[in-house]
Amino acid sequence: MCIYSWLNSLSLTNPGIVTPIVAGTTYEGRQIRGVKISYKSNNPGVFIEAGMHAREWIGPATATYILNELLTSNDPNIRYIAQNFDWYIVPSANPDGYEYTHTTNRLWRKTRSGGPVCHGVDPNRNFGFHWMEGGASSNSCLETHAGQSAFSEVETRSMAWYIWSISRKIQVYIAFHSYSQLLLIPYGIDSERVSNYQQLLRIGHKMAASLARRYGTRYTVGNIVDILYVVSGSSVDWVKGSIGVPFTYTYELRDQGRYGFLLPANHIIPTGQETLDSIVTLLHETRLSPGEPTLCKVSNMFHVGIHACEWIGPATVLYILNELLTSNNTEIRDIAENFDWYIDRLWRKTRSEYNATCYGVDPNRNWDFHWGEVGTSPDPCNRMYAGPGPLSEVEIRGLSQYITSVAERLDVYISLHSYGQLLMFPYGFTEDPVDNYDTLSNIAEKAANSLTSVHGTVYKSGPIISTVYPASGSSLDWVKGVLNVTFTFAFELRDNGTYGDLLPANLIIPSGEETLASVITILQQARDL
């Protein structure tokens, strides 16, 4: 097989990094071969299996594309996952069948073991976990024939033994199949959820979003039974149910049926690229590696409570502050330890007196950048009174002086308000786009998606003027326009108006959790640019 010749060459050209592995044997006497990639000891393991069903050629092609990228790519995200995980990649788990599709029957699916009437067993129905409980057949002539017993096939029996032998290393197991554009979570025997289903689903949606970003290819994510059909005796169910590998996914790769198993060759590289994008996201989300990449430290500032009635702002930032100090979550520890944080709990409205009957100035209309132009009022009794002049309020003068003093260190500025469920960026005084509009828009959209993934809360993202209303003299516009801080965002937190500024206390922690998820995304994106 050409794949095997290429695998042999990799160990010769990458000594000390690529090691040949034999993951099993076959009915016709072939070896089930693959490679291990390891740049350093004590890495967590990722196992990729492809070609279990012989006719699904895009699986082996995708596995070999990813293997090549892990060894040759200069992309820093790919270099990181290559060097901080050990990779066990088996491009053709059914080499007898794969060879048969090249010589005799292009659409052959099963192994090539002999039978009384018909040849072959479906290897993805032959693993010893809930074998023959559904979605499988005892009829040897059917494509889903599960064999005479669990592990009756030498391919599944020997491969299971190999996986078991390295099971303490394996934290991620990925199986490539085709077609349908699905990302499947165990189990296939029924709709019962695995213990970490919500985690797998949350990560799966992020993987699908990453996959779609390059070419617009859309994947559906969910439990095998719910979005495909009943399957018993599959490799991923056995890996999850018998070994307990935490992160297990099956890809049903391109396409959705136009070409089916006969996917044209010009789809191979795009499929490999987008699939690798999603695996980068998977490993970033799981953060299994004990080591972190060497990164520049970015400074981040939170500014909250400038509108005193918006209690959820201070509550949310205090929740985030506590998490930064106490959480054991790997992503939170990452942003806590690799960013400098400046958190200001400006909790009260101004109380200055400019009128005999009305007190105070809207502090978020009092900053010295396009002050008093739109979305403000000259009336001291109006809630958007901008003051008699820019920086008239001692609070804003003091805060602006402090922010200016640390401006050279600031890369990210975040302002929390409520309510409206909006994620905004400058400007509020004009419809002219900010200089890095596309970057901010892209990050805001990703951050909003991350926020939604936690509790389903939907945020709208966009520039202030078109997302909420015109507003001049705001802190966000001043920080961007005067100090030129690169990444500037304002949140209008929960809710959409049912409770408004009187948000119940039981929504504080959910609001904090989802906001923190979006902040993680903002900082990850900022760090990568």
Q: Which residues are catalytic?
A: 252, 492
Neighbours of 470 (CB within 10 A): 16
Question: Beta-carbon neighbour count of residue 41 at 10 Å?
Answer: 6
Q: Is residue 363 a contact partner of residue 348, using CB atoms and an 8 Å limit? A: no
Strand pairing report for 220-223 and 182-185: parallel
Q: Closest Cα partner for 11 from 22, 25, 27, 26?
A: 22
* Residue 128, token pair as written in the block: 């010893």
Please tell me what DSSP assigns to residue 312: H
Is the peptide bond preceding residue 237 cis, with omega within 30 degrees of 0? no
Q: Which residues contact 50 (CB under 8 A, 6 or more apart)?
A: 59, 60, 62, 63, 90, 91, 92, 93, 175, 176
**DSSP for 129-141?**
SSTTSSS-BS-TT
Query: Other CB atoms closer than 10 Å to residue 326's CB: what's the count?
Result: 10
Please tell me whether residue 511 adopts helix, strand or coil conformation.
helix
Identify the helix (H) or strand (E) that includes residue 336: helix 330-338
The pair of structure tokens assigned to 341 is 């944080």
DSSP string, 57-90: THHHHHHHHHHHHHHH---HHHHHHHHHSEEEEE
Taking 3-state DSSP, the helix, strand and coil percentages for the chain, each rounded to the nearest 5, stand at 40, 20, 45
Nearest to 470 by CA among 397, 386, 405, 402: 386
Rg (CA), the chain: 28
420 φψ region: left (φ > 0), alpha (ψ -120 to 50), beta (else)? left
What are the structure tokens assigned to 451, written together?
């926020």
Q: Would you say how long the chain is, in residues?
A: 529
- Mind giving me the DSSP string for 104-128? T-TT--S-----SSS----GGG-SS
Residue 40 Cα to chain centre, angstroms: 25
**Phi, psi for residue 449 in degrees, rounded to 5:** -65, -40
